[in-house]
Structure 1
Amino acid sequence: MAGIKVTIPYRPRYPQVHERLEAHRFAVLVAHRRFGKTVLAVNHLLKAAVRCPLERGSYGYVAPFRTQAKQIAWAYLKHYSAPIPGVTVNESELSVTLPNGARIRLFGADNPDALRGLYFDGVVLDEVAQMRREVWQEIIRPELADRNGWAVFIGTPKGVNLFHELFVQAQKDTSGQWLALVYRVGDTDALSAAEVEQMRVEMSEGAFRQEFLCDFSASSDDVLITIDEATESSQRIYLPTAYQSMPLVMGVDVARFGDDRTVIFPRRGLVSSDPIIVSKLDNVEVANRVISLYHQMRPHSIFVDAGQGQGVIDILRQALPCVYEIPFGGSALDAAKYYNRRSEMWFLMREWIRAGGATPKVDGLVGELSSPLYSYDAKGRISLEKKEDIKERLGRSPDLADALALTFAMPVLPESQGRQEYADRQTNVLMEYNDLSNGGGYADGIPQSLI
């Protein structure tokens, strides 16, 4: 398009943003709702395509869903590209082709196959928090390699997910390739002060912090454990005298698929220790690892997930006296309050955290603890989000958190109330749970043995 002057009908609300985006190969733009992210993104793509010096320039705009991309960006793309002489619009594939051969196309992350086999000189990923991470990591990122393409990630915080991880990565980058930008509602004039104040009054504190103050630590009302709670738990430190009289319990979450991990999580009272994480071991190897740990640490009880751990459980029961099979999807011990056993264990883990529980500083644990959502079923029981849905959003299975949750499968008594007795016999923990629930042992609904 050399020699042709083209004026796009766009007056940047934030010209400094475009300048900073153009100066970095990868940029993460965190912005409040109604910032104008989509208009900015479309025009950023359009300017790059118009100036593209390469043959058959290729640019993409990716939204979580193709229908969403069409609804929020297609009209903008056609409007702002219309003044360019010779532009070609393809309604069926949602693309515009410029006279220099560069093309901008809209995609949905819900159909990753449509993105495969392409190359990009530049791409914008809008509302990254709602996308599966493989769309970026396994498809788009490799497609930028051929021609040293760039990427801009835009969105509003929505907990711990790919968008949060990219933002943290951009903040820590020292190569100069990454840029992290944050625009909170007080940083712009996109909304009037009166409107902002009205929304502050009408919305919950967590929702306002997340949507308009761009606070990744803010949680929606249906998050079981907030990021703040999980982070605070990881920062607690206790002297051994505060927990050493409590029985040691272990939760064992056995790997389900090839990319999952087997996690063995020890906990003694208010303090959980560093987990033992192993991968690609068969049932015999996992069982041998647990048996070895038993002889080293002498736990009171070992709770194993029955889902994929049946073979491990069979081996352990022949060697150890304190192994208990815990069906995550089975009935809760308090079936009137919880939808299933997994929901019950996670809720008790939340109460433990709120009561002062300390978790180790292990990569990924805070994110796993603060990811699950909860709801209520038709009977008013607490129901935790499915593990498969958490894995899709988080990008990995919450194995660490599930293993820690297993340590709350059943109440156990403190060491001072009969440690030797427990060592000499196989404890009927289920009977003890019933005794506790019928005769005290609880403080505000939390088993004393869990505190």
Structure 2
Amino acid sequence: MNWDPELESFQMDFVTSKARFPAMVSAWGTGKTMCGILKAMENSIEYPGNLGLVVRSSFRDLKDSTMKDFTKYTGIRVPSSQDVKLSNGSQIMFRHLDQLAGIKQNINLGWFFIEQAEEFDTPEEFDMLDGRLRREGCFRQGFIIANANGHNWIWRRFVNKGGNEYMCNVELPSEFDGLGYTGYASCVEAITFDNKRNLPPDFLGSLKIKKEINPCQYRRYVLNSHEDTDTADVCIPYDHLIRAVNADIFCLHNKRRVVCCDPAEFGNDKTVIMAMEEGKVIDVEALRKKEPMETAGRIVRMRRKHNAQLSVIDSIGIGAGIRSRLGELGENVLGVNVGMKSDDPENFRNLKAEIWMNAQEWFRENKVSLPDNDELIEDLASVKYLVTSKGQIAIEKKDDTIKRLGRSPDMGDCFVLGLYGLKGIGFDPVVEYEEEDSDLANSYSVQTVF
């Protein structure tokens, strides 16, 4: 291969990585695609008869971007079959998401390369392709390149040190001995300016303008920030969540308190019981496999502990029995069936959509203070919405959220339920003024939005 680019040190770290699963998660202009293609070619040339796969989410991006970049860098045209055959007998296949079914079942790969892996909402394809790394006579690897996109599966597996899904510190079992692997996974991160030597000066100059007019995009795509993400179809934008962590909130009326519960019926889902004072979490319990009557008792105890005015329960399924028991005990309880009709059916498909958009409004108006709890923040950031042909907002299917997040967003569901419950609690404005200023005070009408 005549193509031998001069690489920056961070690019070299990715291209030469001997981890089972190398990743390059970096900003615009850092040469991710070039490095991925270079690594693919080196694996194919070093091991004659190898079989590799380049994957992209959509056919259009595969055809118009990935395959064209491959030809630009290597000088090799990708034929209509989407299979490139090298003179040493190695073969490189180019496929998009809808073409993967047959590959995942029938082919033993030496390597795979997922370009723009953040386009895949879940790690399902990555994991399935891992199961095809069985080709003999080669060094088997699966590598990805990606832009930062919040706390998605790539962040959880390759970036979030200390997280329970983090792969880069996994010890290799003895079966890997003598095969040349230096680790299970590796991750290279870089910002745009790490590659400024190879970038046009006007491009670098335009980034200074972007920093001012679109700081969120600048942080994500230039500084490789994982705290910024796509927000077009997310119920609660990630920057709103980060802004709310340990935030001070100002209240002009007596503070309302509510206990909310999202009960779990079975499996790995958790029953979450949360106490809130206005938009602030003041107590939380997360339980597994508790009987409904014990859950009811725990709700009563938390309500008494914090002198809450209302308990709000997701009353679908097991929650119906919990709500009934609390009612028998004389508790002030609101049962919420999120599948029921919204109070505003013109704008919301059902109550679930209204509840999540109500939460969005609380965050937008800076009326929320979140604990620094990764699980709660990720739950709230994970739920997406869509707009129906009738112009109604609808929330995505729960299974879609679970696939993307890797679990049920129990904490987030409980929290937004609590914000909705606060709407049902009355409050009185708190206005203090000196006796001699009463005439002046009476000349104003007091309005409190919070």
TM-score range relative to shorter protein: 0.7 to 0.9
Match of 1:193 among 187, 201, 205: 201
1:382-421 to 2 correspondences below 5 Å: 387-410=398-421, 411=423, 413=425
Match of 1:211 among 221, 227, 232: 221
2:113 partner amino acid:
V
Fraction of identical pairs, as percent: 19
| Counterparts in 2 of 1:197 and 1:77: CA distance versus 1, 3 Å | closer
Whether the 8 Å CA contact 1:18–1:44 is kept in 2: the answer is no
Aligned length: 403
1:64 partner amino acid:
S
Deviations 1:142-175, CA, capped at 9 Å, x for gaps: 4347877323221112222112223324697446
1:362-401 to 2 correspondences below 5 Å: 362-373=373-384, 387-401=398-412
Aligned to 1:28: 23
CA–CA distance in 2 between the matches of 1:70 and 1:257? 44
| Counterparts in 2 of 1:99 and 1:307: CA distance versus 1, 3 Å | farther
CA–CA distance in 2 between the matches of 1:82 and 1:14? 22
Deviations 1:233-269, CA, capped at 9 Å, x for gaps: 444599xxx9xx8454222224488554433222233
| Counterparts in 2 of 1:12 and 1:133: CA distance versus 1, 3 Å | farther
1:31-110 to 2 correspondences below 5 Å: 31-52=26-47, 56-77=49-70, 91-92=80-81, 94-110=82-98
TM-score (norm 2): 0.72
Whether the 8 Å CA contact 2:263–2:314 is kept in 1: the answer is yes
CA–CA distance in 1 between the matches of 2:418 and 2:446? 18
Aligned-pair CA distance for 1:44:
1.2
Match of 1:127 among 91, 116, 121: 116
Match status 1:155 vs 2:146: yes
In structure 2, stretches of 5+ residues that fail to align are: 171-181, 430-444
1:95 partner amino acid:
D
TM-score (norm 1): 0.72
Whether the 8 Å CA contact 1:326–1:409 is kept in 2: the answer is no
Whether the 8 Å CA contact 1:58–1:121 is kept in 2: the answer is yes
Whether the 8 Å CA contact 1:78–1:96 is kept in 2: the answer is no
Aligned-pair CA distance for 1:45:
0.5
| Counterparts in 2 of 1:292 and 1:256: CA distance versus 1, 3 Å | closer
Aligned to 1:433: none
Deviations 1:14-72, CA, capped at 9 Å, x for gaps: 4751344323413221233354432331221011111027xx53322222234432332
Aligned to 1:290: 296
Match of 1:181 among 179, 184, 188: 188
CA–CA distance in 1 between the matches of 2:283 and 2:14? 41
Whether the 8 Å CA contact 1:38–1:72 is kept in 2: the answer is no
Aligned to 1:427: none
Whether the 8 Å CA contact 2:123–2:153 is kept in 1: the answer is no
1:267 partner amino acid:
M
In structure 1, stretches of 5+ residues that fail to align are: 1-6, 418-439
CA–CA distance in 2 between the matches of 1:110 and 1:301? 49
Whether the 8 Å CA contact 1:130–1:393 is kept in 2: the answer is no
Aligned-pair CA distance for 1:131:
1.0
Deviations 1:109-152, CA, capped at 9 Å, x for gaps: 45553342344332222222221424256413343478773232
| Counterparts in 2 of 1:136 and 1:442: CA distance versus 1, 3 Å | farther
Aligned-pair CA distance for 1:408:
1.5
Aligned-pair CA distance for 1:82:
6.3
Aligned-pair CA distance for 1:406:
0.4
Deviations 1:284-337, CA, capped at 9 Å, x for gaps: x23431333314543432222244444544455445532212233445556787
Whether the 8 Å CA contact 2:231–2:238 is kept in 1: the answer is no
1:256-295 to 2 correspondences below 5 Å: 258=267, 260-273=269-282, 275-279=284-288, 285-295=291-301
CA–CA distance in 2 between the matches of 1:150 and 1:253? 42
SS of the residue 2:286 aligns to: strand
CA–CA distance in 2 between the matches of 1:235 and 1:34? 35
Aligned to 1:435: none
CA–CA distance in 1 between the matches of 2:281 and 2:11? 44
Deviations 1:343-394, CA, capped at 9 Å, x for gaps: 4433444455564633334442212222345677889887666655544433
